[in-house]
Amino acid sequence: MTPDLRVRFAGIELKNPVIAASGTFAYGVEFEDVVHLERLGGFVVKGLSREPMTGNPPPRLYETAAGMLNSIGLQNIGARAFLEEKLPKLRAMKNVVVFANVFGYTREDYEYAIQMLNQGEGIAAYELNVSCPNTQHGGIQFGSDPRTLDEVVTTVKRFAERPLIVKLSPNVTSIGQMAHIAQEAGADAISLVNTFIAMSIDIKTRKPRIANVTAGLSGPAIKPIALRMVYEASKSVQIPVIGMGGISTAEDVVEFMLAGATAVEVGTASYWDPRATEKIAADLSRWCEEHDVARIEELTGAMQV
């Protein structure tokens, strides 16, 4: 019997729980010749802002033990160009689910970008990246301060004409508290984790490996911490949780689902194998078959303590 891999959250049904993560899958169209996009649960496009952004100066990527540092600086073509140049191509594809990741530096930036994206057709939901410094609050990250998180989610929820997934930063003291705040402010689902603030130094030159000095750590190195955070977040909310952080195999997906995730995102794995997302989805089907899991959604939160 073919296992049923379908999962549902925020009124959306996915054919399987594997979603390509924002920032590692461009705008989806660029992967068209590499990945059978219709075999994925869905994909999240690179973070979009109200205006185009050029990002940080290089070097902005560095490989670490079992992980990667990046400080791309949220380079993107902007919400309007996404609507005009990318979305029509995505809309022409059959059987794909597209999520738009959105970020800003002020509440008004988020408002503006969301209102613009509301005009486009073919976006299943918004994923709100709250890991940027809020320029109106002295540079503190929206997602690391309970008050600014509440403010930005409440604002966006008022304007969003699509379901809202709030993507949480792991750089906080209590992930459970932040997850709960996102839920109370109107999130339809939460996703976590974004990257961990980290750094590396070239001891020969005594210079930082990344021009911006600090950067975000992702990949297998962060998996056990991400898993713990998904577990804690899912215990403190009733809305669905989308888990990510270092996932590179079907077994990793099962682990995140047992910890409480309804679906997962796969990011850095696409850097060493551009077909990773599709392979993980196929392996997941085999894994369920071999382990007599008829419906994958039964795994969510099924860890036995």
Ligand X SMILES: Cc1cc2nc3c(=O)[nH]c(=O)nc-3n(C[C@H](O)[C@H](O)[C@H](O)COP(=O)(O)O)c2cc1C
Rg of the chain, C-alpha, whole Å = 18
Residue nearest to ligand X (CB): 23
Question: For residues 45 and 99, is the Cβ–Cβ distance under 8 A?
Answer: yes
The one segment of 19-27, 35-43, 150-158, 180-188 that binds ligand X by CB under 6 A: 19-27
Residues 179-208 that bind ligand X (CB under 6 A): 194-195
The least CB distance from residue 280 to ligand X, in Å, is 11
The least CB distance from residue 291 to ligand X, in Å, is 23
Residues 162-181 that bind ligand X (CB under 6 A): 167
Cα–Cα distance, 148 to 20 (Å, whole number): 28
Q: At what angle do helices 223-236 and 250-258 cross, to 10 degrees?
A: 30
Name the residue nearer to ligand X (CB basis): 208 or 246. Answer: 246
Question: For residues 56 and 70, is the Cβ–Cβ distance under 8 A?
Answer: no
Site mask for ligand X (CB under 6 A), range 212-251, x = bound:
------xx--x---------------------xxxx----
Question: What DSSP string describes 209-231?
Answer: SSTTSEEEEESGGGHHHHHHHHH
- Residue 143 sits in the site that holds ligand X (CB under 6 A): no
Name the residue nearer to ligand X (CB basis): 3 or 104. Answer: 104
Among 16, 17, 22, 198, binds ligand X (CB under 6 A): 22
**CA end-to-end distance (rounded Å), the chain:** 30
- Residue 17 sits in the site that holds ligand X (CB under 6 A): no
Name the residue nearer to ligand X (CB basis): 272 or 303. Answer: 272
SS3 sequence, 132-152? CECHHHCCCEHHHCHHHHHHH
State the catalytic residue, choosing from 7, 72, 132, 198.
132
Cα–Cα distance, 218 to 208 (Å, whole number): 18
Residues 246-285 that bind ligand X (CB under 6 A): 246-247, 266-268
Residues 99-118 that bind ligand X (CB under 6 A): 101
Residue 55 phi/psi, 5-degree rounding, is 85, -170
- Close Cβ partners of 6 (under 8 Å, ≥ 6 residues apart): 13, 14, 15, 16, 295, 296, 297
132 part of the active site? yes
Cα–Cα distance, 10 to 162 (Å, whole number): 9
Name the residue nearer to ligand X (CB basis): 68 or 229. Answer: 68
Question: What DSSP string describes 242-269?
Answer: EEESS--SHHHHHHHHHTT-SEEEE-TH
Site mask for ligand X (CB under 6 A), range 62-101, x = bound:
------x-x-x-x--------------------------x
- Residue 134 sits in the site that holds ligand X (CB under 6 A): no
Question: Which residues are the active-site residues?
Answer: 132
Q: Which residues bind ligand X (CB under 6 A)?
A: 21-24, 46-47, 68, 70, 72, 74, 101, 129, 167, 194-195, 218-219, 222, 244-247, 266-268
